[in-house]
Amino acid sequence: MRLIHRGILLCFALLATAPALAWGPLGHRIVADLAAAQLAPAARAQVDALLASEHAQSLADIANWADTLRDDPDQAALGKATAPLHYVNMHGSCDYKPALDCHDGQCVVGAINHYAAILGNRSLSIAARAQALNFVVHFVGDVHQPLHAGYLQDRGANDYQVQFDGQGSNLHRVWDSGLLSTRHLDAPDYTALLQKQGPVALPAPIAPLDNPPAQWAEQSCRIVMHDGVYPDGHVISAAYIERERPLAERQLRLAGKRLADLLDRVLGDSRAVSTPR
């Protein structure tokens, strides 16, 4: 695995030209920082040990790794194999149907469940579990970007062109990074701003209760269905930013809380991380 910091730099360098895939680097780092601040001590110890195995210091250091794979020649095969795992295409409604929306687990919902199971399996090697942590941190962020559970026909609004800040863009990229960039804050300051709002209230669980990531995807999908998310005239106005940015920020806060809860659940005991092999 390449050094984490090199991957992050690649992600920043290619952001302007690469197709939009996820929250931008800023959003993913915010989710990771929010989660890290909410971890219980037992899970934090496990996370720290796994991070140390990759010479990373924080969840934010690994939060964007999954988006750099496609641009790293040494990881191109893994990037291609995991490309469908960054999103879920809901077919016809926002009610998640695994056989239709996530065939063979090839979507962000299936990916979160798959890699969380690897992360929590202490019989596996540290390398396998550390990689799973990378994916879990990233994919929990992804499923909370509403357009990652959007329309198949426009590739989650990658094909929906807009004018933003006087330049051509697409709606997916606006939600990835454009809305957040209007704050003109770096990740630590943005995280602090969101933390000042206090604990986020999680929506009530929806039956069936055996697949929380599916519910997260359904909730993201329903945001996409709100009137006005696709802007009239294809123009991102100041009014649009003021209306939609709070929704994006709430999604970041939900992602941070849910990521912390997931890590507490799969890592939250006092056993040591398994011996490397």
Active-site residues, by number, are 23, 28, 67, 70, 86, 138, 142, 148, 172, 176
* Residue matched to tokens 């519910």: 215
CA 163 – CA 234 distance, rounded (Å):
6
Token digits of residue 51: 């991070």
CA 123 – CA 129 distance, rounded (Å):
10
240-275: buried (b, 16+ CB within 10 Å) or exposed (e) per residue? Answer: bbeebbeebbbbbbbbbbbbbbbbbebbbeeeebee
CA distances from 143 to 22, 64, 137, 170 (A): 9, 14, 11, 19
Q: Residues 6 or more apart from 78 whose CB is under 8 A from it?
A: 69
Q: At what angle do helices 108-120 and 126-143 cross, to 10 degrees?
A: 150
Instruction: Please measure the distance between the N-terminal and C-terminal CA atoms of the chain and give it in whole angstroms.
Output: 16
Q: At what angle do helices 126-143 and 212-224 cross, to 10 degrees?
A: 30
Region of 104 please: left (phi>0), alpha (psi -120 to 50) or beta.
Answer: left
